[in-house]
Structure 1
Amino acid sequence: MIQFYAPDINETLTLPESEAQHCIKVLRTRIGDTIEVIDGKGMRYTCRLLDDKPRHASVEIIERFPVLPVWRCHITVAIAPTKNIDRMEWVVEKLTEIGVNRIIPVKCRHSERKEIKIERLERIAVSAMKQSLKATLPEIWPMTPIDKVISELNATQRFVAYCDPTIPRLSLAKEYNPQSESVVILIGPEGDFAPEEIKAAIDAGYCPVTLGDNRLRTETAALVACDTFHIISQLTQ
């Protein structure tokens, strides 16, 4: 199934230009054909194409139905962007495919990358959402200082994952409660969180955790953490 993304489809009854171009010029969809449209907010629409203008393709909504996330818990992954932007783009794609509600690029003391353009990340997330047949688009924040993330994010459970063996850590798999309504995981940069950042998170109520005995790349750690939430939740259903 091919999905088209139109966040305002319910109000405008039109496809955005990029989606209309793909629908009409690439896939050669014709007037009267039915297509599937998602709004990124959890709804899928079966629509009939009313015209074949590639810049302004209008549709008629035949049916609306919710597409609930396959995961029960609201998941936020706050991750320090990697120096290599390709790796950050890759992790946004894979987190979206696995299933996540919010991705926050975090600026830390040891961050190799201090700025990031979220427009590109949003486009990658849209593509991954469509490809994986989801209808929920993760919210992507702009680059946010670590102290702001620590102080402002609320969740049923909050975790900070790091490598420093001198600061005691627990197992994420053992500490995560699959009945939690929401969860936040902090993932540090290539140089790990600074000790004072770890302390600040723990003092704010974050649970200090390890993702296992292996030393993982930043983007791998984010995927392992997110998948841990999914797997444990599925095992307890």
Structure 2
Amino acid sequence: MHLFYTPDIQASQTEYQLSEEESKHAIRVLRLEIADTVQLIDGVGGFFDAEIINAHPKRTQLKILNYQAEYQKSNYQLHIAIAPTKNIDRIEWFLEKVTEIGIQEITPIICDHSERKDVKVERLNKVVISAVKQSLKAYVPQINDPISFSTFLNQFAKSSNILKAIAHCEEGSKKEYLQEVFQKHQQYLILIGPEGDFSPTEIELALSMGFVPISLGEARLRTETAGLYACLEIALLNR
């Protein structure tokens, strides 16, 4: 199966022309020819089967054969807000893996102990789109611009319909696993802090806004590992 990301395609279209970049990949790299079939996704659940009718390396023309809406739509909504790691490769690894498992939204949060204060969202989007193609998904997770921890929390202060948790390493009463506090088929928001953990002030603020404290097990995890662990737990809960 050869999957192409085509965010501008419409469900009603009967033909579609690949971009120059995707055309070159299809014809020069994959060596596809007329009558070969490919698949297209729009990033919001649309999945298309198509046939090549003009194998041009700059403007490959396709005939749409079939369209499916809400292809493999998830039965839950997961949003992870995570502090960017000092080594950007680690956060990119996280994005790749959670996209493969299943996630809808990621927000980079800048915390008191953050070692990295900025990220290039365009670069992160490329990682996500590549993972979407590799895992044959039709939904592209949303990556938001970096935002300060307190500003981010204020956006969800009155969100009673979202199940919220904060994973931190401070002493105190905490649930060990997300499955102990969350129910199936819900909207989830999980906070993952930097390598130096959330500050006591940040933890207190999150708890005051209804976030449940969790530990994600006995081991102290790296930021990207904790994020992946949380994503996997939610996926298993809703399996």
- TM-score strictly above 0.5: yes
Q: Over aligned residue pairs, what C-alpha RMSD do you find? A: 1.5
Report the AA paired with residue 162 of structure 2.
T
Matched residue SS, 2:17: coil
Given the superposition, is the C-alpha separation of residues 63 and 70 from structure 1 closer, same or farther in structure 2, using an over 3 Å criterion?
Answer: closer
Structure 1 residue 231 corresponds to structure 2 residue 236: yes
Identity among equivalent pairs (%): 40
1:173 matches 2:179: yes
**1:90-132 per-position Cα deviation (integer Å, ceiling 9, x unaligned):** 0000010010000111111110000000111101111101111
Shift of 1:176: 1.4
**Where does residue 25 of structure 1 map in the other structure?**
28
Aligned pairs, number: 232
Q: TM-score, normalised by structure 2?
A: 0.92
Contact 1:37 1:46 in 2 (8 A): yes
Structure 1 residue aligned with 2:42: 39
Alpha-carbon offset, residue 19 of structure 1? 1.8
SS across alignment from 2:165: strand
- Deviation string, structure 1 residues 106-163 (Cα, Å, up to 9, x no partner): 1111100000001111011111011111111000011111112212144520111111
Query: Given the two structures, how large is their TM-score scaled by the length of structure 1?
Result: 0.93
Structure 1, 36-45 or 169-178: larger mean CA deviation: 169-178
The secondary structure found in structure 1 opposite 2:54 is coil
Alpha-carbon distance in 2 for matches of 1:149, 1:58: 43
User: Among residues 124, 127, 133, which one is paired with 1:124 in the alignment?
Assistant: 127
Contact 1:67 1:134 (8 Å CA) reproduced: no
Q: Do 1:81 and 1:111's aligned partners in 2 also have CA atoms closer than 8 Å?
A: yes
Alignment of 1:1-237 (within 5 A): 1-10=1-10, 13-69=16-72, 71-153=74-156, 154=159, 155-165=161-171, 167-171=172-176, 172-180=178-186, 182-234=187-239
Structure 1: stretches of 5+ with no match in the other structure: none
For structure 2, list consecutive stretches of 5 or more residues without a partner in the other structure: none
Give the Cα–Cα distance (whole angstroms) in 2 for the partners of residues 229 and 201 of structure 1: 20
Once the two structures are TM-superposed, the CA of residue 58 in structure 1 deviates from its matched residue by 2.3
Higher helix share: 1
Provide the C-alpha distance between the structure 1 equivalents of 2:185 and 2:73, rounded to a whole number of angstroms.
14
Distance change (3 Å), C-alpha of 1:222 and 1:32: same
Distance (Å, rounded) in 2 between the aligned partners of 1:210 and 1:68: 34
